[in-house]
Structure 1
């Protein structure tokens, strides 16, 4: 216990038993009062262990006395002796306050045949778990070579969880170099459904995250309590998360040189497995979790990364026919709704047969699109639920259309209306809003297509900026409107505050009607406040008409100049949303049921999947997938971007290699060779 090697050896030479056990009876410390001082001194000198039945080897190991451990092992002490709770000396290694001797003791015990798979029955921990907690790579390697492996703790955590939480990259690499490691081990969840990736991200350990991803770690999955995905944790706990995620995506673009008879050629390989860790299933879940975690600016930036853009391009090429089918359906709906409104309102009672036919078409197409919009709501990101403006518009106009089709443009008595005046006001309101929103939604839907997307996005961006400016200066407009309602009270346009606000907004466009407002006749005085009204009117011209309108035009023009890059990202986002919704729809259980046609189900699933390896060859300005089928070309700009990134990465790696000394290269080579030799011996 005190580390006195000479005295221990003397006692052993005199016949002391290495297996003698500490078995003080508890009544020993409840002696009579006259013996209290004597027994208290003994208690101070030799404090009882945590459990009875421990041998000197237990005590020496726990206190970290290397020479005592070596001496006892030399004298044939049992290294697998257990105390009354089942604890062996190896489980006590590392318990000392000073753990400098820990690695030596573990090596001595393992070499002497200690059981490395022993488990603490109280804490469910193993010697390997203790080595990970103490961040000892040497001890971990020693235990792994002796046969130790990952175990499940009391909270279902493994040693990989603890190594990731501690940021122990060297220990993670020791596990990854072991041939027994599997992807299931790397993605094992604890009692809180946290994977090692979650634990590494919570600790902000970037290198560990990269190592886990390279080993097959999955970015899919969320924690049990907070419902946070790995992406959520990365964006919450790592500084400049967008740059870090870019580094991860950059590492999945690799460049290789191929030699053949005509000369050397370059191939760039794109690995999409980080985006689709489950293979052919749930290929959009990682991107969807990134959308939920990132800000709008980060999202637009990351979407334009060559790896993601190539991934979305391939996915979009697979499901493009379904998108065009949606546009065709929506176009049919909009046209049928427009014709139905024209027949039912502007030609009420004149064409009953045609009106009935288009009424049925509106009900069918509008009902189908309303169901589609409802599914989109269910599958949308809860975090951005109230910001899904397009979804709200889609659901609103389809529901209004269905309501109009059900009502059938009937009068208050339930009979078909014969004229415009017979129609109820609520029907006219619904029809007016439905036709406006449907055509607007069609414009936004076309905005997802690669050819016309920029123009629709430009319109949406300009509209958004103008609304922001108007909301910012709405107080100014209201102030002028109320002032005009007082000064020009005699005019119908300013007869009440609401009419005055509408007229003031129109006047901002330049329709001042100065001569009508300030005309004066002998028999009527329409404007009593002639001096004040002219001053206020001049202020309105300067502030609202000139300054505010030019401000809105300037904001719109400046945004359009920088909209091409942002618009490209927005278009990719819309495409990603449509792809994810398509994946969710084809993943429902009804498609796999025996009642659903097998050929259609197989076709849908095949359309929703892509291969996770892509090989680009500059001489082909395109790509060739590993299966050699369906060879197509990527956009030339995207190919150039990928090649440029791979070339720059290759140059930077070359610079790093040149800066490394020869001695460091030799040491690294020795390490690789020794690891390969150990693997062969293990096999």
Structure 2
């Protein structure tokens, strides 16, 4: 299919499809030089000329045509005539344009076409990282194609390319030709140039082009005279100083009077960009002092000066630029520094120092940069910090508000890679209070829980406004910020990851879950009330009418039947709508939840009760019994969603699941026993005849040993034993006696009977051990020993073990259940009603399936606001009074003031956190106070140690002075004694 691109008329792109894309078709046509079809294709979609072929080429079709083999000049001319951008360049290709690619490929006919179609005469001097097309030809051209090589040089020189312009190393084309020994190129430049050739100003290893030409005898004719460069313009002089890294000359040029030149450029880079790239600190400071724009870039080089400094780790230049009041930081500069933070350090090059400088700036002004800004892979700075940096760097980012819930394009969050110990330390730091205050024991002492890092950042979504309008000029892209986000994604992951589960007991997490439950519990109670209504109406309708227990109905009973039917019908449609809504929002999550399958089956049975006309009585009873059972199961599971009851339901689920897992593993044995019993105990005509004859024979052995064994194990009752003995002594008349149902007459019934026997109800009296007395006794005894005794005890032990484990971790189990339930409810409310994944899958398979690129819509419905805590209900934090029983301070409705929160169900009840959360909070507060005391004591000791060191230093200096004085005194005494002697 086709989709709008950037809201322009010719802005259509082809999405993935089973059909070949127009871009692929165009590339194939260009490679075949099929100009007629190229024209036909591009006339219908001119945007194909601007398509970048990732990842094989990373360039548009014109640049591919200029660089590929076997593509004709006429094909290139066709593309240019159709509107291909001849001046397109990118950093991936070192800013090369079409003229540079043509020069590199050494195709004179294509180069001639490019030169003839340049917009302005000066465009022939277009620079790519300081290199002209003539530089590219000499450096990278195919010199083995001698004629083409010389012809390309002639075309460029005759069209007026600047043969005296130096590259980024201040080396001119003729100097490069002299270094490479290209006699023919030197001849072309000297003889075909329309301007005098300078062979003396540029040097390489202190040798000019003149020196090399004369030494190597590369030109037979007379060399040009030395050119006086006094008339060279100021911009070129400054550029030459920078390329030669002559900072003194640059700073002293015109005594620093370069105010009108500070923003000059050479079409490739500005003076400041070149200074940053060359690590010229004095030049950067000089340009900043003279008023250069610190954010200025060129059309070819979009890297800002501070990006260049950050990428190369030039921390001194980085600090100078960062302190500029008008600096605009690139969104991904923090990610750039983190990518290279562990690089090797050199004098003046240190990415870690750049990072520290930026972090100090962010600590003083958090709005200076978005700490969660992601790159093209949707990786946030925290993703890179966890991957590349030390734990202290990760902690610093978390303190600045970096989110643990940022998802990259692979749906990986930072929480998935962080160390549990580091996360625990960070959660402790999220409990904030006045450490220097002295209110710890007073009632007005407050503790604030900071949830900023647990919440994903607001999403910025681009929408195509006016997509369906007929006027393409009205179509434009609009960025919308979605304030409401999935707030429990991080905690939901923690509840499923074993290494993080214990942290769910942390006060920051428990308080968040408490407030989140407080926020959505109204939805739970409404849903519960609705379902109880459905359940009661279903039960009442079944027992009063549908199951037909009483055919005669009184007037009152008929009214009850009519009312229950109407209520059941209404609640049935609401139930169907609820399930369809969940399927539409998130089909993947819906069908992964086992409870939803119970609801689907319940809906089908309830619908059968309501809408199937005149079913049989047996069908009615089957539908009624199954419906009541399923409805009761669902009600139990729904009530178990309440935090106070969740542990009991988790216990039921866990024990049931483990029981069935264990039983499934041993089902092979159970099936084997069932088939064995079918073979041994099934009745057939041959067995019946043998049984009559054998029982009339006095030599038939009595199975008294097996009966005694079963009586000991409790599998037989007295009546069955009595009947067995009676049957053994009297002849059996099968035709006249009423037989019991044979549970072993087919394999299905045999399996059913065997499963019943698992419970210990053997009913051995109904089994016929006479046909194969020895074999049947052995197999039956083996069944009792292995299945009835060992397996059942194992299952009971497993259930007891699971139950005890859940009871021991009841609090943690409750938090896990609450977190997962809240996450499910939140995903349903905040989810996209359109099944976007399904539509996108269809569109990727078939290009004819229409779908807009904007499948998701901003969450503006009232339910979303009623479910989300942030930013409208709480400002990413919660204030609690731990000395008032954990009372919570909530914002007043519609105001910014805060007050003690009251429960919405009763104005006299305050909202309070549970005692365990408050207890753990107080413990963390006490630990922080102890840590502060230790730090203070260590600080005092360090001060005392410094004072002692100072005194020792002073004492040693005093001793030295005393020693010198004594020495001087000795010298004086010696002098006086000599004078006296003389």
**TM-score normalized by the length of structure 2:** 0.53
Whole-Å Cα distance in 1 between the matches of residues 451 and 366 of structure 2?
Answer: 25
Contact 2:537 2:568 in 1 (8 A): yes
Q: Which residue of 2 aligns with 1:394?
A: 599
Range moving further from structure 2, 113-122 or 508-517: 113-122
Q: How far apart are 1:189 and its partner, in Å? A: 4.7
Deviation digits for residues 5-50 of structure 1, max 9, x if unmatched?
A: xxxxxxxxxxxxxxx96488757877754967999998865799xx
Whole-Å Cα distance in 2 between the matches of residues 513 and 58 of structure 1?
Answer: 105
Whole-Å Cα distance in 1 between the matches of residues 413 and 280 of structure 2?
Answer: 34
Q: How far apart are 1:333 and its partner, in Å? A: 1.1
Q: Which residue of 1 aligns with 2:531?
A: 330
Range moving further from structure 2, 554-563 or 384-393: 384-393
- Three-state SS of the structure 2 residue aligned to 1:646 is helix
Larger radius of gyration: 2
Whole-Å Cα distance in 1 between the matches of residues 584 and 389 of structure 2?
Answer: 32
Whole-Å Cα distance in 2 between the matches of residues 476 and 296 of structure 1?
Answer: 35
Q: How does 1:341-380 map to 2 (within 5 A)?
A: 341-342=542-543, 343-347=545-549, 350-351=552-553, 354-380=560-586
Q: Which residue of 2 aligns with 1:576?
A: 822
Q: 2:674 aligns with which of 481, 487, 491?
A: 481
Q: Which residue of 1 aligns with 2:8?
A: none
Deviation digits for residues 459-512 of structure 1, max 9, x if unmatched?
A: 111111111111222222122222222122238212222222221111111112
- Three-state SS of the structure 1 residue aligned to 2:434 is strand
Deviation digits for residues 392-441 of structure 1, max 9, x if unmatched?
A: 32343234323421225x23xxxxx6xx25xxx4x655544332221111
Range moving further from structure 2, 259-268 or 623-632: 259-268
* Cα distance, 1:461–1:62 mapped onto 2, change above 3 Å: farther
**TM-score normalized by the length of structure 1:** 0.74
Contact 2:511 2:913 in 1 (8 A): yes
Q: Which residue of 2 aligns with 1:127?
A: 305
Whole-Å Cα distance in 1 between the matches of residues 208 and 757 of structure 2?
Answer: 94
- Three-state SS of the structure 1 residue aligned to 2:644 is coil
Whole-Å Cα distance in 1 between the matches of residues 759 and 670 of structure 2?
Answer: 13
Q: Which residue of 1 aligns with 2:785?
A: 542
Whole-Å Cα distance in 1 between the matches of residues 282 and 929 of structure 2?
Answer: 42
Deviation digits for residues 612-631 of structure 1, max 9, x if unmatched?
A: 43233332121341601424
* Cα distance, 1:103–1:505 mapped onto 2, change above 3 Å: farther
Q: Which residue of 2 aligns with 1:317?
A: 518
Contact 1:336 1:358 in 2 (8 A): yes
1:73 aligns with 2:251: yes
Deviation digits for residues 326-368 of structure 1, max 9, x if unmatched?
A: 2222112112212222331243754466444323222211221
* Cα distance, 1:462–1:59 mapped onto 2, change above 3 Å: farther
Whole-Å Cα distance in 2 between the matches of residues 47 and 365 of structure 1?
Answer: 94
* Cα distance, 1:316–1:449 mapped onto 2, change above 3 Å: same
Contact 2:670 2:754 in 1 (8 A): yes
1:494 aligns with 2:673: no
Whole-Å Cα distance in 2 between the matches of residues 497 and 253 of structure 1?
Answer: 65
Structure 2 gaps, min length 5 = 1-163, 191-198, 210-232, 342-351, 459-480, 684-740, 834-855, 891-897, 902-909, 947-982
1:233 aligns with 2:439: no
Q: 1:634 aligns with which of 913, 916, 922?
A: 913
Structure 1 gaps, min length 5 = 1-19, 412-416, 520-524, 667-683
Contact 1:163 1:171 in 2 (8 A): no
Whole-Å Cα distance in 2 between the matches of residues 511 and 261 of structure 1?
Answer: 66
Contact 2:382 2:414 in 1 (8 A): no
Contact 1:448 1:575 in 2 (8 A): yes
Q: How far apart are 1:143 and its partner, in Å? A: 0.5
Q: 1:268 aligns with which of 447, 452, 456?
A: 447
Q: Which residue of 2 aligns with 1:522?
A: none
Q: Which residue of 1 aligns with 2:629?
A: 436
- Three-state SS of the structure 1 residue aligned to 2:487 is helix
Q: Which residue of 2 aligns with 1:449?
A: 642
Range moving further from structure 2, 302-311 or 428-437: 428-437
- Three-state SS of the structure 2 residue aligned to 1:87 is coil
* Cα distance, 1:648–1:103 mapped onto 2, change above 3 Å: farther
Q: Which residue of 1 aligns with 2:109?
A: none
- Three-state SS of the structure 2 residue aligned to 1:269 is strand
Deviation digits for residues 232-276 of structure 1, max 9, x if unmatched?
A: 23255x254x55444443321123254469979753211223344
Q: Which residue of 1 aligns with 2:611?
A: 406
Q: How far apart are 1:578 and its partner, in Å? A: 6.2
Whole-Å Cα distance in 2 between the matches of residues 648 and 70 of structure 1?
Answer: 58
Q: Which residue of 1 aligns with 2:924?
A: 645
Q: Which residue of 1 aligns with 2:230?
A: none
Deviation digits for residues 115-171 of structure 1, max 9, x if unmatched?
A: 42222432310111112212344332211112353355xxxx532332344455414
Contact 1:623 1:634 in 2 (8 A): yes
- Three-state SS of the structure 1 residue aligned to 2:887 is strand
Whole-Å Cα distance in 2 between the matches of residues 348 and 200 of structure 1?
Answer: 73
Whole-Å Cα distance in 1 between the matches of residues 760 and 449 of structure 2?
Answer: 56
Whole-Å Cα distance in 2 between the matches of residues 400 and 43 of structure 1?
Answer: 92
Q: In proportion to residue count, which structure has more helix?
A: 1
1:517 aligns with 2:767: yes
* Cα distance, 1:284–1:604 mapped onto 2, change above 3 Å: closer
Q: Which residue of 2 aligns with 1:617?
A: 881
